[in-house]
Amino acid sequence: MSWVTIGFIAASPGEAPLELILRVGDPGGLFSPYSSRPEFEALSALSSVRDLPIPKAYEHSDDPSILGAPFVITQCVHGDTPTPWAGADERGETANQSLGHDFADALGAIHAFDWTYTPLAEWVAGSEGPITPQTTALHETHRWVRHANLGVGPTPPQMHYAMRWLEAHAPEAERITIVHGDYRVGNFLQQSGRITAILDWELVHLGDPHADLAWAGLRTFAAGTTRIGGLIDRDVFYSRWQARTGLQVRQDVVRYYEVMVQFKMAAMLMGAMIRVQTGCSRDVRMAAMGFQLTSTLIELNKLIAEAA
């Protein structure tokens, strides 16, 4: 529903063929209009991080005259994708633990990376002014307000209430880090209980790392368990993340960002419905996302109450 993903072989005389992945930003996709630059720059910068399982980025362009839409080309990595809603029991405890450890360690490596001397430093400018520890939560809130088109047409009152709650309780970040933006079970590949690649970097940005902690730990992605992603006990996940980053998990900030990312999920659903209603997309899957909005808003109510 977002980037069209195509596997292909690139052959050049005198060189071994390369197995590659082409991702094209569909103009009718869930988060369009797209730019390939953030994903390419993030993967390129993080390629220097030892033991971080990410695909190598080869090329990108936002010039529509080449393929008709923005695109990025990366290494092909093998593995299968566990679903976030089921499968924890079928994998077995050994696989869940090893995947959980890799999941925590990889996120810690992303958040520990010093981006300040890379092209990512240009991202600080932001669309609403500089991204700072004091402004990052508001930047992210308003990003998803725009995506949901709040105030344009009928809007669930709970979305307006949640927006005001997020604005009123915005915390200051201890450190601005790379934030993956969609870090969860379902967005990595695995083989034999080990993560082979962290995928889906289309929402990468600079911000508070607690946003990734909260998204990874949502009940929606827990496969009916109390664990992070159905894989690993929350305390173990946090402990490994802290050891890698040198940061401390702030529980009050995690609770704030749980509300934030649930609001983000609702904004995604609303954005999908709007794209279908306005004729930007004819994807029946995006239309069907509207059925999830009520349960998502109910969970948003619960998380605001828990955070308070």
Residue pLDDT, tens place only, 122-178: 999 988 899 999 999 999 999 999 999 887 767 899 999 999 999 999 999 999 999
Same domain assignment for residues 68 and 159: no
How far is 267 from 144, CA to CA, in rounded Å?
Answer: 6
Strands 205-207 and 177-179: antiparallel
CA distances from 5 to 21, 152, 298 (A): 7, 32, 33
Beta bridge partners of 10: 18
- The structural domain count of the chain equals 2
- Segment 37-44 shows an average pLDDT of 98
How far is 167 from 169, CA to CA, in rounded Å?
Answer: 6
Q: What is the mean pLDDT of the chain?
A: 94
pTM for this model (two decimals)? 0.95
How far is 304 from 300, CA to CA, in rounded Å?
Answer: 6
Same domain assignment for residues 70 and 140: no
With left for phi above 0 and alpha for psi between -120 and 50, is residue 13 left, alpha or beta? beta
Same domain assignment for residues 163 and 23: no
Residue 105 maps to a domain: no
Residue 193 maps to a domain: no
| 41, 56, 75 - which closes a domain | 75
Residue 89 maps to a domain: no
Same domain assignment for residues 52 and 128: no
Residue 194 maps to a domain: no
Residue span of the structural domain in which 16 resides: 3-75
| 45, 75, 105 - which closes a domain | 75
Same domain assignment for residues 260 and 160: yes
Same domain assignment for residues 226 and 278: yes
pLDDT bracket for residue 304 (50, 70, 90):
very high
Same domain assignment for residues 175 and 297: yes
Strands 3-10 and 188-191: unpaired
